[in-house]
Amino acid sequence: HQALEAKEGVTIERENQTLATITFQNYFRLYSKLSGMTGTAETEKNEFKKIYNLGVVVVPTNKPLARKDLSDVVFKTVDAKYRATVDRISELNQKGQPVLVGTVSIEVSESISKLLKKEGIAHEVLNAKHHEREAEIISAAGQFGAVTIATNMAGRGTDIKPSQETLEVGGLFVLGTGRHDSRRIDNQFRGRSGRQGDPGASQFLLSLEDDLLRIFGGERISNLMDKLNIEEDEPIEHVFITKAIGNAQRKVEGYHFDMRKHVLEYDDVMEKQRSIIYGRRREILGEGVQNLILEMCDGVVDRIMNQHCADKYADQWDVKGFNRAFESVFGKVPNEKWYEEELKADEHAEIFYKWIEDLYKEKIDFFRKVAAFNFEPEVSEDEGKDLFIKMILDLERQVLLKVNDNLWKDHLLSMDHLREGIGLVGYAQKKPLDEYRKQAFEMFSDLMDRIDQEAISTFYKLTIAHHLAESDPPPLPQDVEFIHGEVEKPTDEKVKQKKQQPVRAQATTGRNEPCPCGSGKKYKKCCGIAKKIA
């Protein structure tokens, strides 16, 4: 979006951050049961089987199909195709048969509309520019003598009901001006005609300059037309042409399926990570938060042990490093000389687990005292216990959720950057997908470690800024004398004003005099140094 903002000369906003992501395929897989119904699933049955493990069953039509699907007609150029389209529409319009003209884009629909206006043929154009009249235009497309131009996707979901006069002249004629990349779209377009056993017809007019034929199969057909010395406006209508076009569409569909499958393979990596993170969130929102915190504490201790005490012999352990790491997470080390006990690493670990439980209880006791001190007097002991349990549960959840969600959000951003650049490993003769899986696993392992460490560190270092209830102010001394200059002195009695006393400095100890602390040293060598440092 930043490139677009720069192009349009508007304020360039900060880069968007992904908060959650999932593909349609993995989203649908979350349902325990999947089913559906469509008129065009037969051509995509292989994808349904591979992605969703769903079979496709063809249900027979209610009434026998009476529509005539004519063979495709191919022209050398786009202009020749457009001229043939207008001639075909004019021919059908003269006998009153309604025509639904399908185009692959809005630009093509407007080009054909201009040609029809030149010929004086009344028609309606249905594209995204007239979406509010879409249902009205498409429902009238089956009337006698109607000509409607629409994109292949427009008006879906609205039945075209032919009039009695229309049925007598052959029903609705569906005329396509180009094949879509997907056979499903073409089949949907054909299906506008000949519903419920009504008569109708369909045909596609193509040119060798159409994208589908030009990219995926036009060269062979073009060479054939050159050999036969066929003129520009002379059409080719043959079963071979229809088969070649069908093959080209299958190539395109296979290409798009490979792309979707490729995206899904990358998203499958994220799906595993998502399931773990969201599973953790469900645990946090459950009732066993305390057990989850202690499990996370054990994991943190294990990692600190592996980092500083991985050697076989105790004298090779980094004891100071362990103490610093333990204190940075849990706030303090109950016994800094734990290593003096000659125990194995796993036995020390058991002691550390006990420390953690004791520190956890100590933290909870601290919160309990603060809560009890701040409860209203009318709150009973049982009510206070219930309130405190809810407060602690809510506090633990907030800490864990905040850390979990913030770090997961940052991880998604890192994964986006990894996904963007992973293709470059192909230059090193490595498979990008395998490398992506490997790096994603390492990044996710690091993420889980950071979530544990940051969440536990935050919880154990929690304190209350103003944890004591406000007490009454101390009583003023009795011998304090208040003097207000604005108040007039009483006339009946004279009040003697105290004379202001000078401020006298306290006696100071000389640098070379004996230190007053009684150490026997000179002041400059004893308390003088401490005062200077302070």
More confident residue, 530 or 395: 395
Mean pLDDT check: name the lowest of 109-113, 304-308, 315-319. 315-319
**What DSSP element (H or E) covers 216?**
helix 211-216
Specify the pLDDT at position 534.
44
In this structure, the answer to whether residues 177 and 293 fall within a common structural domain is: no
In this prediction the pTM is 0.60
226 lies in the same domain as 94:
yes
Q: pLDDT above 90 covers what percent of the chain?
A: 15
* pLDDT recorded at residue 401: 93
- Does pLDDT of 462 surpass 90? no
Q: Cβ of 82: how many Cβ atoms within 10 Å? A: 19
Tell me, yes or no, whether 349 and 432 share the same domain.
Answer: yes
Over range 456-476, report the average pLDDT: 66
The verdict on 433 and 302 lying in the same domain is yes
Same domain as 208, residue 82: yes
Q: Is there a single domain that holds both residue 299 and residue 182?
A: no
Residue 57 has pLDDT above 70, yes or no: yes
Residue with tokens 């992605």: 51
Residue at token pair 């919880």 = 459
Is residue 482 very low, low, confident or very high in pLDDT (cuts 50, 70, 90)? very low
In a domain, 506, yes or no: no
- Tally the domains of the chain: 2
323-332, Cβ contacts within 8 angstroms, sequence gap of 24 or more: 326/301, 326/352, 328/457, 329/300, 329/304, 329/453, 329/456, 329/457, 329/460, 330/297, 330/355, 330/356, 330/359, 330/456, 330/457, 330/460, 331/359, 331/460, 331/461, 332/359
324 assigned to some structural domain: yes
Surface-to-core class of residue 91, CB atoms within 10 Å of its CB (0-12 exposed, 13-18 middle, 19+ buried): exposed
Burial per residue of 382-409, b for 16 or more beta-carbon CB atoms within 10 angstroms, e otherwise: eeeeeebeeebeeebbebbeebbeebbe
pLDDT, tens digit (0-9, with 9 covering 90-100), for 364-417:
888 888 877 777 777 777 787 888 888 888 989 999 999 999 999 999 989 988
Of 416, 432, 461, which residue is a domain's last? 461
List the one residue out of 158, 167, 116 whose CA is nearest residue 137. 158
- Residue 383: predicted pLDDT: 80
> Do strands 200-207 and 67-69 pair parallel, antiparallel, or not at all (unpaired)?
parallel
Q: What is the mean pLDDT of the chain?
A: 80
Assign residue 140 the CATH number of its domain. Answer: 3.40.50.300
- Give the DSSP H/E element, type plus range, for residue 147: strand 147-151
7 inside domain = no
Helix runs in 286-344, H state only: 289-308, 319-330
Q: Are residues 223 and 328 in the same domain?
A: no
If asked whether residues 88 and 210 sit together in one domain, one would say yes
Using the predicted structure, report yes or no on whether residue 475 has a pLDDT greater than 80.
Answer: no
Among 395, 430, 461, give the residue marking a domain's end: 461
Does residue 4 sit within a domain? no
Whether 73 contacts 237, CB under 8 Å: yes
Whether the predicted pLDDT of 505 surpasses 60: no
Residue 19 lies in a domain: no
What pLDDT score was predicted for residue 477? 52
Which pLDDT belongs to residue 40? 81
Enclosing domain of residue 385: 284-461
The verdict on 124 and 188 lying in the same domain is: yes
